[in-house]
Amino acid sequence: MGIFQSTEFVAAIAGAIVGGAITACVALLTHMVSLDADTKARNDQRRKEQQSLGYSLLFKVMRIYDNIYSLNARIEDSILRAENQGIEGELWKKIEPLVNVPAPIHFAANEMAVLLSLKNFHVFNDVAQLDNIHNAIVSVIKFYSDFRTSVTDLALQKSVGMDIQGERLRADIPIDETSALVRGKAFELESVARALKPQVERGLADSRSGLEELIKLLKEGLGVEHKVTFTE
Return the pLDDT at 103: 96
Return the pLDDT at 161: 44
More reliable by pLDDT, 48 or 164: 48
Q: For residues 7, 8, 9 and 14, what is the CA-based torsion angle, rounded to 10 degrees?
A: 90
Domain boundaries, the chain: 55-222
Q: pLDDT for 97-153, tens place per residue?
A: 998 999 999 999 999 999 999 999 999 999 999 999 999 999 999 999 999 988 887
Exposure string for 77-108, b = 16+ CB within 10 A, e = fewer: ebbeebeeeebeebbbbbbbbbeebbeebebe
Helix, strand, or coil here: 99? coil
Return the pLDDT at 127: 97
Return the pLDDT at 47: 79
Return the pLDDT at 41: 61
For residue 162, which of 98, 87, 91, 74 has the smallest C-alpha distance? 87
* CA 192/CA 225 separation, integer angstroms: 40
4's CB contacts (< 8 A; 6+ apart) are none
More reliable by pLDDT, 46 or 91: 91
Q: pLDDT for 4-22, tens place per residue?
A: 455 665 555 555 555 555 6
Instruction: Find the mean pLDDT for residues 187-193.
Output: 93
Best-predicted range by mean pLDDT among 6-10, 44-48, 165-169, 219-223? 219-223
φ, ψ of residue 94 in degrees (nearest 5): -100, -25
